[in-house]
Structures are given as structure tokens and as C-alpha cells.
Amino acid sequence: MELKEQIHVWMKKNEGELFRMLQSMVREPSIQANEAGIQLLTKGWLEEVGFEVDMWEPGGELFIHEAFLSARDSFAGSPNVVGVKKGNGFGRSLVLNGHVDVVREGDSDDWHTDPFSGEIKDGKLYGRGATDMKGGNAAMLFALQALHDLNIVCEGDIIFHSVIEEESGGAGTLAAILRGYAGDAALIPEPTQMKIFPKQQGSLWFRLHIKGASAHGGTPYRGVNAIEKAMAVFLSLKELEKIRNDRVSDPLYEEVPIPLPINVGVVEGGDWPSSVPDLVKLEGRYGVGPDETVEAAQAEFEAWIAGLGKKDNWFAAHPVKLEWFGARWLPGAIDTDHPLMNILTKNYEKVMGEIPAVEASPWGTDGGLLTAVGNTPTIVFGPGITSLAHFANEYVELDKVRSCAEIIAYTILEWCSGINKEAEE
Amino acid sequence: MELKEQIHVWMKKNEGELFRMLQSMVREPSIQANEAGIQLLTKGWLEEVGFEVDMWEPGGELFIHEAFLSARDSFAGSPNVVGVKKGNGFGRSLVLNGHVDVVREGDSDDWHTDPFSGEIKDGKLYGRGATDMKGGNAAMLFALQALHDLNIVCEGDIIFHSVIEEESGGAGTLAAILRGYAGDAALIPEPTQMKIFPKQQGSLWFRLHIKGASAHGGTPYRGVNAIEKAMAVFLSLKELEKIRNDRVSDPLYEEVPIPLPINVGVVEGGDWPSSVPDLVKLEGRYGVGPDETVEAAQAEFEAWIAGLGKKDNWFAAHPVKLEWFGARWLPGAIDTDHPLMNILTKNYEKVMGEIPAVEASPWGTDGGLLTAVGNTPTIVFGPGITSLAHFANEYVELDKVRSCAEIIAYTILEWCSGINKEAEE
């Protein structure tokens, strides 16, 4: 029996294992600072399939790296896990990267089950993190189990990143890269809904402080309402968004209405209904294209904000203050004709019986760090449902997780094999 | 010597007493729930000038009255003080109303002295409450001292309200009214900068909940940004403001750009820069005219908000939710040809040597409660500087306080005298 066929049969037979593994992942409420439980489980799974495991609490040089961004000043109790299965050095190495941290479950009244139940119903497994991205992690581990059980030895190294902090700036992946765990290419099964994303939008968070002039609410004409001024800034950001998106010509973005959005996500201003507010804060997310540098994108935004004074004297006298803060996701990319793209695409066709959707993702992943800092071109491709990430009643479709595991197993097989390496290079 | 001349001479001679009294008032940090100290002082002053004093902690029926509005469920430790000096029943009664509560001092770094210093410099007395409205209270008490010292007996009752809670909904004045302390007319020396306000704008606080639809900030076009929808509501409130103000024809409002403003004072929405916010809250102050009822003004606002759906289908499907909350000041009024207006105006001219500015005030006072609940027509006239109320480095000009005291003393003399009552009626 051909190797892929063996894998297919093995997976079909053992799919219950996959679902149970995913269930135990979801039952670990691995929100920020609570990742130790799932990391210990992952360490165990990796060791069972013959990986050498490195588990450590990130620190040291991480904190002073220019790409480091986190509100935390210690990762004590939040270990990273990296497992390595060395090849014979003749194959290409592959990084399989998945984050174990999940965003908070929110109001549990919005969930129809316990948010960490892992309940399976109608082929769907429910729970916080099921889609983002424990379904993807389980698919990768299941692929490794299949290869291990079938005694398939790869020539290239397989480096499994089980990282913390993806939801808050990527410190876990950065720590793994800085510890030397990069590779020839990487795969991250974030929830793409089985689309293949060779490019990922990066993003930066901005905060704008917009001034007004206070007055009593009975005589508002004596003041300047900062909310009104914030509205002008909001509309001006829409203009900048249009200018930036009019420049995008990459065919990968053909179907995307706004490839590089500027989203204002938070507004806050004033503290008394009877006063004219003198300060409004806007916070948002600034999309950065895979074909621009973060620095150039920042400079364009900064110049735009500084230019507000030319359109409105108020802003000349009271400049809007800009801060870059909090999270930053670097844009990520791999060439669309990169060999890993070809391998993944063909294996997708083999398993799914159709041509995959290949798009640029509208959000960043740790693939940006792997690309920019780790010099590891990255594809994002996973079974989760994009629109369910971060929402109540998040679930993942189990048949997609299985299919994804199969595609990943085939892809490891070909990418890491010396034969294919020679054949393609 | 004519009585007014005697008062004038007495006040000139004793003005040091006035300033010391005001100083000791300001040195009492009578913020909400800390009014007992100043009330005990006031009780003492009233007793010294022959008033019968009633001091009590408001409660009971107050809490179930329809005009009651307060975040507090007890006024323990926050007594009201009312002093009464009965006349012989042949004169008209006068309520002199002043609140002792002051708003918080804010950041003390913004003050050039201690916020409760009562420091006197260049004819100004500094401190929280100096303008709003302890300067006015001191002027009233000084007027009573003059009448007492000069053995001037009035025929009408004088009812002195020293109330709590004006800054937070007027529970103190309401309690005084409900305890039976109303009168034929009232004077409130709130900081009008020596202008005479026969009408006072009332106000209500509103809160609007504006819905959007959440989405990831990388694909904002899949959601509806509640900030954008809140902007539409904000602009719509401007339209309503215009419609309401176009109707105002009272000559008292001739000089006021927007007699009945709608002020949006607080905005808050979203909780994550990378998400499209699905809810924005706006809070504001809705000006109510002296010539409309609160009920009619509310109904107009409610209909306007309900009508948003006709202009934008989004609001038809996702109606903006309106709450009336927190503070409410009823509009107050007295006829501009009311005898007390004539008396006060003439005495102003006598003391100040000029014609007073007579305007409608852009903010409410406890005069609304006196008018609507106590059936006591009210004039607002006081020495404080309107624009300094609630700000750092608040002060009051001592010569204005003295002049105001003199005007009030003359006015009491004429209004409460039986002779004048006969002469004018």
C-alpha cells in the first residue's frame, strides 16, 4: 500500500483518538496565564510520538527584542513547548506552529454549553478555542501520530511549536524563534476554513487622543465637543483607508472588499453628561499589507494624523496625539509558487477532491514573526471557521479537522523527504 | 436715617464679618455626604439672628416622591437645615434658598492653593464652593444679620433653606418643600454673576445604547461599526436641537445662541481595538425650557429617537435604546413682571448704579423644584462667577458678595413688609 493510502486508512481507523485529543485540549481553559495544563498535555503527546521536547518559561533576551510586544513582564507559569524530531539532514525542515492560548470565553450566558465543555454534537466540537486554534493543533499532532505509528521516517527535521501568547502579541513564537527553532518553511493551522493563505495581513494597534474644550452642558457653544472632533478624525481615517486600498493590486486580494482595513474598535470620552467633553480616545487596528514594511505603514499613518491640522485649524492648535500600543502582528508571506505551496495545494486536491481557495488573509498570525524574524516562509491553513473565532458557541467541524490532519501528514511526508527535495530543487 | 441707609452703613462697617463667615464656609469641605459640618455652622448663625432652626436628615416620603432623584438611599449624616423667622402674618413670605454641597475639588495639582483654603487675595476669596454657592449663602446670612442687628422686624415670614444635594438632583430642596417650607416667592443666589434670572433652563440626563454588529477588525466590512452608527445619532440630535431652538421666541433668550441645548457629554463603546464594536453608549444632557413641561420635552425626545428607524433601516431593525437616568433639574420660572422682580431690579439699580442684566439661565437650579413642587415662583440671582463653578481655582469677588448682601437685605425689607404688600397689591 502506498504511504498516503496507509495514512488515510490509519486516520480513518483512529479518528476517535483525534476527537478525544481535541476534546481534552478544549477542556483545558488555556486563557492567558493559564496555559501550563495544556502545555503539559502537549509535551506528553509529542514525547509519545518520538519528539524531543523542550519546555521553558520564556524570558531573558526575549524582553529586549525589538519585535517583543506584551503587557506581561513575566511568563512564569506559562511555558512554551517545542518538540523536535530530527531527520537525517537530507530533507527540508518544517515548522508546525500552533498557539495554545485562547481568548476569554466572555459572558457564559451567551454559550449554550459550558464554554470549555468540548461537547460533540452533529459532527461539531464546541468550546472556546475549538476553532482558534485547537482544532488545527490536534490535526498536526494527529498527523505526527500517523507518521509515528506507521513508522514513516522523514529526512528533514520536524519542529513542533506549541506556543503561548499568540492572542496578545506573539511572544511565544518569538521566544521559540529566538531559542533557535526556525526552519525551511512553516505551516500554521489557524482557522482559515480550509483556505490556503500564502499572505497574511499584519496589523498594529493605535490610540488617538483627540482634544476638545470643556464647557457646561447648558452652554455647550462655549466649548468644543471632543466627540465631534473625534467624528472628524474617524471620517479622516476612512479617507486614509481608501487611499491605501486603492493602491493594492495583488490578485490574491481580488475578492477582498478592503484588503487593508483601518478599524476603530474602541471609543471613550467625557465623564459627565452635563459637560462638554474635552478629550476622546479612539483605539483601533491598522492593517499592514504583506508587501509593505511595518515602518512604512506606520510612517504613512503618522503623517496622515499630523496632516489633520491642515484641514482643520482646531487640530493645528490642538494636535491629535498618536500612540502605537499593545499588540502588533507582522505581515507574513510565502511566495505563491514556493514548493511548499505546490505540495500543500496538491495534497488538498487529493484529499478534498477540489481546488483550494488561495487567498490573502485579512488578519495576522505568528506567521509574521516566523517570516520576518525567523526567516521562515509561512503558510496559514487550518480547519477552523474564521467567523467563529473569539465568539460564543465557537466550534470546529470534526470532518474538517480529520481532512486537515490528512493533508498535513501528506505534506510533511513530501516536504521533509529528501527524495522530494531533490526532485523539486 | 432711612432703613436702607442704616443697612448700608452697617454692612460697610461689618463687612469683615461677612468675609470671615464665607471663609469658614469654604473651609468646610462639604462635598456630598460630608455636609454635617457646614450645616452645624449654619444652624448656629441662623440661631444667632433669631431664627427657629429645624435640622433633620431627609428621608421617609421623600424617597417615594415622583420628583425625587438621587443615587443615595440614605441621607444619614447629611442633614438639611431650615431656619424660620415668623413675621406677624401681614407680610409676604420669602424663601432664601442655598445649597451647601459642593462638587469634588478634582485634581488638587490644578489648584494654586489648597482647594478648601478660603484664601483671600486681591479682593477674591478662593476655594471649592466659593462661587457655587457659598458666596451667595454668605450674602443671604449677612443680610439677615444686618436686619437683626438693626432691629428691623419683617411682617412676612423669612424661610432660610440651607440644603444638601443640589449638585445631585435636588433632594435637599425637595425635602424642605415636602416638610412644609415653601413661601410666596423664593430667591436663590446661585452664581449668576449678578445677572437676574427669572427663568432657568431645566435639564434631564439621557443615555442612548446604539447597536452595531461585531466583526473582526481585519474584515470590518462584515460588521457594522456601532461608532459610525453613534455618529449618525449624534448628528440627528443636532437636528432635534435645531428644531427645538427654532421654536424659542422668548426675548429673554435673545442673546443665547442655543437656549435649549442637547449636549452629548460621554461616549463609550467597544472593548477591543481589533474588533468592530457592536455597542456604543452616549450620555448627555437635554435642556428643558421654562415654558415647556418635562413630560412634553421627554415625549419629543422619545419620539425623535423612535423615529430614527424611518431614516435608516439599521435603526428600524436595531432600535436605539433610550434611558432617562441620574440627575434631573426642573425648569424654574417667575413672571418677569412679578412684584419680587420689580423689587429686586430696583434694589439692584440702587446698589449697583446700573440696570441689571435680566436673562434666562442656561442651567437648572433647585428653583425648578420650588416652582413646580413648592408652587413658589423663584428668582436666581447671585454674586458667583458662572464660568468658575466646578473648576479649579474657583473664587468669588468679595465686593460682589457685599453688594449682593445689600441688595438682598433691601429686597427682604420691601417684599416682606406689610406696607409694601399693601402698596403694591
pLDDT single digits (tens) B109-152 = 889 999 999 999 999 999 999 999 999 999 999 999 999 999 99
ipTM, 2 dp? 0.81
Chain A CB contacts of B274 under 8 Å are 203, 205, 263, 265, 285, 327, 363
Task: State whether A228 and A168 are in the same domain.
Answer: no
Task: State whether B75 and B158 are in the same domain.
Answer: yes
Beta-strand pair A185-188/A378-380: parallel
Alpha-carbon span B185 to B170, nearest angstrom: 18
Task: State whether A288 and A325 are in the same domain.
Answer: yes
CA distance B175 to chain A (A): 24
* DSSP-derived 3-state class of residue A285: strand
Task: State whether A229 and A250 are in the same domain.
Answer: yes
Name the β-bridge partners of B281.
B209, B268
**Helix and strand tally (H, E) in chain A?**
12, 18
Q: Give me the amino acid identity at A294.
A: V
Q: Give me the amino acid identity at A99.
A: H
Which of A203, A267, A325 would best serve as a mutation to test chain B binding (most B beta carbons within 10 A)? A267
CB-side neighbour CA atoms (13 Å) of B191: 20
> How many CB pairs lie under 8 A apart between chains A and B?
166
Q: At what angle do helices B339-352 and B398-415 cross, to 10 degrees?
A: 140
Chain A CB contacts of B231 under 8 Å are 231, 234
CATH number, domain at B181? 3.40.630.10
Task: State whether B233 and B187 are in the same domain.
Answer: no
Sign of CA dihedral A359, A364, A367, A372: positive
b or e along A64-85 (b: 16 or more beta carbons within 10 Å of the residue's beta carbon)?
eeebbbbebeebeebbbbbbbb
> Along the 425 residues of chain A, how does pLDDT read in single tens digits?
799 999 999 999 999 999 999 999 999 999 999 999 999 999 999 999 999 999 999 999 999 998 998 889 999 999 999 999 999 888 999 999 999 999 998 888 889 999 999 999 999 999 999 999 999 999 999 999 999 999 998 999 999 999 999 988 899 999 999 999 999 999 999 999 999 999 999 999 999 999 999 988 988 999 999 999 999 999 999 999 999 999 999 988 888 899 999 999 999 999 989 999 999 999 999 999 988 989 999 999 999 999 999 999 999 999 999 999 987 889 998 999 999 999 999 999 999 999 999 999 888 899 999 999 999 999 999 999 988 998 899 999 999 999 999 999 999 999 998 544 444 43
Name the active-site residue from B101, B132, B157, B190: B101
Task: State whether B259 and B387 are in the same domain.
Answer: no
Count how many residues are written for chain A.
425
| CB atoms closer than 10 angstroms to residue B169 | 22
Task: State whether A56 and A149 are in the same domain.
Answer: yes
Alpha-carbon span B88 to B417, nearest angstrom: 10
Identify the closest residue of chain A to B256 by CA–CA distance: A219
Asked whether the beta carbons of residue A216 and residue B390 sit closer than 8 angstroms, the reply is yes
| CB atoms closer than 10 angstroms to residue B239 | 12
Alpha-carbon span B407 to A410, nearest angstrom: 96
CB A85 within 8 A of CB A140: no
CB-side neighbour CA atoms (13 Å) of A175: 29
Asked whether the beta carbons of residue B274 and residue A203 sit closer than 8 angstroms, the reply is yes
CB B411 within 8 A of CB B158: no
Asked whether the beta carbons of residue B277 and residue A285 sit closer than 8 angstroms, the reply is no
Which of A275, A298, A329 is at the close of a domain?
A329
* DSSP-derived 3-state class of residue A312: coil
Asked whether the beta carbons of residue A273 and residue B261 sit closer than 8 angstroms, the reply is no
Q: Record the cell numbers describing residue B139, joined without a space.
A: 450674602
Summarize pLDDT for B236-284 with one digit per residue, the tens. 999 999 999 999 999 888 888 999 999 999 999 999 999 999 999 999 9
Task: State whether B217 and B186 are in the same domain.
Answer: no
CATH number, domain at B273? 3.30.70.360
Chain A CB contacts of B363 under 8 Å are 216, 218-219
- Quick one: how far is CA B97 from the chain centroid? 10
Structural domains of chain B, count: 2
Chain A CB contacts of B275 under 8 Å are 263, 265, 390
Q: At what angle do helices B135-149 and B398-415 cross, to 10 degrees?
A: 50
DSSP B258: -
pLDDT at A418 (0 to 100): 55
Beta-strand pair A124-126/A395-397: antiparallel
* Long-range CB contact pairs, B226-229, < 8 A, 24+: B226/B269, B226/B270, B226/B276, B226/B277, B226/B278, B226/B279, B226/B280, B227/A234, B227/A264, B227/A267, B227/B269, B227/B270, B227/B277, B227/B280, B228/A234, B229/B280, B229/B314, B229/B315
Say whether A184 is catalytic: no
Q: At what angle do helices A36-48 and A3-26 cross, to 10 degrees?
A: 160
Task: State whether A286 and A367 are in the same domain.
Answer: no
Nearest to B106 by CA among B116, B98, B97: B116
Work out the burial of residue B359: count CB atoms within 10 Å of its CB; fewer than 13 is exposed, 13-18 middle, 19 or more buried. middle
Task: State whether B347 and B251 are in the same domain.
Answer: no
Say whether A271 is catalytic: no
b or e along A97-131 (b: 16 or more beta carbons within 10 Å of the residue's beta carbon)?
bbbbbbbebeeeeebeeebbbbbbeeebbbbbbbb
**Range of A206's domain?**
202-329
Which of B313, B329, B345 is at the close of a domain?
B329
Task: State whether B154 and B196 are in the same domain.
Answer: yes
Which of A329, A344, A366 is at the close of a domain?
A329
Alpha-carbon span A408 to A416, nearest angstrom: 12
Task: State whether A235 and A275 are in the same domain.
Answer: yes
Residue of B205, B265, B387 lying closest to A276 (CB–CB): B265
Alpha-carbon span A387 to A276, nearest angstrom: 39
Asked whether the beta carbons of residue B276 and residue A284 sit closer than 8 angstroms, the reply is no
Residue of A217, A266, A363 lying closest to B272 (CB–CB): A266
